[in-house]
Structure 1
């Protein structure tokens, strides 16, 4: 549904997006990750036909954003990182206004508004003033707004920004449901753990360059460090001796204490299994209170692939 080739966008001497190549298929939930100023919003604005001067090409459903902007807008919903709402309208009036702006036939508006309100769990708020909605409800109303013309592709820039934990859970459930409905989603976010649970694929961008695009599983495998295990000893005085013994094994890349009083052992890439760590510790007479393999998280892949350049 989305195809970008060699996309480059400059603002004066600043290159916001630099030679970006990206493909997002139908029904995919694509997480777009990167530090502030990495080029995420600029890329979305190009796809939303809001920026015309750029190098390379960008297509939505096979249509070029330069030459088929009007057609693309009928099939695409764009929610920027700050979506203003009109506080002096009711929820119904707000959606009626945008249904009219998107040229939704008058006879269909009532049914479509009812449908998007049900989908976003705002049916009971239809007659409420927008000003009385919580931040989370206003964000869901923003999603309802971009769904009003029944688009096939959604570009959502930081949709969970500023939401409390409960509202983030509700937003994640909503976006997952949209993916099940066959819509293609491009979602940017700094809440990496939620992208890991929701997205079918991710792209990591830094300083305008795409560092990675593919499955989350493959992103994990690209983390430079190997598997990690957290070990807690019953006797902290035994830690120095245990560290020396562990670091003396060629399969161990390093041992560092964490902020929970544990020793975090990092294995070298290619080292499989953890049993040999137990053998080393027991041989040294260490009494083990806990031994916990640590999962690689999306944050680890993000920091590795962007060289830790989080802002």
Structure 2
């Protein structure tokens, strides 16, 4: 099924058309940079509602950036602006060096957008669906054939290439939508809740595909409510609430910035009460509980200080059998940074 017929060019029309177009189009300004995504003091207001307020961050080429926030925080609005589906009230954003305000056409050629909900045609099969978008992006001949084959293979939908979309599962539809966003080989991928509604196996497979895209040099911005998966796949994250960016950086950096106490459990053989009395005299130890052989407490110190604390117990003659340190997860940091506010 062909959605857009290919037509032969009219002899002599090409040069005249190009000359008219060149006289009308303002040359795009391209800023070469290692940051493939950049938001510069981005604002978006809807009446009195500040959906996005003064957000700035960058994502380096080949990195995966996790965009985290409660519902209504401004994630989708930011992504729509990056995808040139909306304009900022103030500020600007850049995709592969091109402004979404001044050069939207150049941005669209370099960007693949996977929204949280997308339209499909029930009676169209996977190949026809992808072929339609390949033609829309101007792919022709051998180039289009090769991209179709690659996308079907990469997304694992080649076995269902001739199957109507109405017969696909939620996970396969998500794969097909990812393929649609990849069909023109963009440098940047914007993925809005791509794992929503997927079963555990489908989420794992999607995570592997996203990581492989980054390894191939593509820059990925992804939003998700499944924070454990973002922590595993992302090079850096940003936490947004009520339209404002609260924290940004690698997961480890944000954990370090926000971590004031770590929970420690130390198992002491033979004289746990004596070890507990020794620890209670340490200023950085709080909320100490002695439970049989187990000492449970909060410790205000880094890993080096923790090692010194354990060494101190050993030097005093206490038999330290086990040490368990609970480091704050991305979910812990998210709960600590945000307040659960909505607009």
TM over 0.5: yes
1:163 corresponding residue in structure 2:
198
Give the alignment of 1:262-277 within 5 angstroms: 264-270=296-302, 272-273=305-306, 276=309
Which sections of structure 1, spanning at least 5 residues, go unmatched?
A: none
The yes-or-no answer on 1:75 pairing with 2:110 is yes
The yes-or-no answer on 1:217 pairing with 2:248 is no
2:328 corresponding residue in structure 1:
296
The yes-or-no answer on 1:30 pairing with 2:65 is yes
1:205 corresponding residue in structure 2:
240
Q: Alignment partner for residue 264 of structure 2, among 214, 226, 229?
A: 229
Post-superposition offset of 1:103 = 2.2
- Conserved in 2, the CA contact under 8 Å of 1:39 and 1:205? yes
- When residues 295 and 110 of structure 1 are mapped into structure 2, their CA distance, relative to the original with a 3 A threshold, is same
Post-superposition offset of 1:232 = 7.2
Question: SS of the residue aligned with 2:230?
Answer: helix
Question: SS of the residue aligned with 1:88?
Answer: coil
Q: Alignment partner for residue 250 of structure 1, among 283, 287, 305?
A: 283
Q: Mean alpha-carbon deviation: is it higher for 202-211 or for 139-148?
A: 202-211
Q: Deviations over 1:220-271 (max 9, x none)?
A: 101232232235799xxx99999887555311133589xxxx8752211357
Post-superposition offset of 1:27 = 0.8
Q: Mean alpha-carbon deviation: is it higher for 200-209 or for 240-249?
A: 240-249
Q: How many residues are paired up? A: 304
- Conserved in 2, the CA contact under 8 Å of 1:223 and 1:300? no
2:8 corresponding residue in structure 1:
none
Post-superposition offset of 1:192 = 1.0
Larger Cα Rg: Structure 1 or Structure 2? 2
Question: SS of the residue aligned with 2:261?
Answer: coil
Tell me how large the CA RMSD over aligned residues is.
3.0
Q: Deviations over 1:146-183 (max 9, x none)?
A: 00111110000111111111010000000000001100
Distance, in Å, in 1 between the alignment partners of 2:155 and 2:189 is: 15
- Conserved in 1, the CA contact under 8 Å of 2:268 and 2:275? no
Q: Mean alpha-carbon deviation: is it higher for 219-228 or for 69-78?
A: 219-228
Give the alignment of 1:57-136 within 5 angstroms: 57-136=92-171
Distance, in Å, in 2 between the alignment partners of 1:85 and 1:233 is: 61
Post-superposition offset of 1:80 = 0.8
Q: Mean alpha-carbon deviation: is it higher for 43-52 or for 239-248?
A: 239-248
Q: TM-score, normalised by structure 2?
A: 0.78
2:30 corresponding residue in structure 1:
none
Distance, in Å, in 2 between the alignment partners of 1:93 and 1:81 is: 22
Post-superposition offset of 1:199 = 0.9
Post-superposition offset of 1:276 = 3.8
- Conserved in 1, the CA contact under 8 Å of 2:40 and 2:55? yes
- Conserved in 2, the CA contact under 8 Å of 1:246 and 1:277? no
Q: Deviations over 1:58-94 (max 9, x none)?
A: 1112211112111111110111111232222111111
Q: Mean alpha-carbon deviation: is it higher for 272-281 or for 70-79?
A: 272-281
Relative contact order: is structure 1 or structure 2 higher (C-alpha 8 Å, sep ≥ 6)?
A: 1
2:337 corresponding residue in structure 1:
305
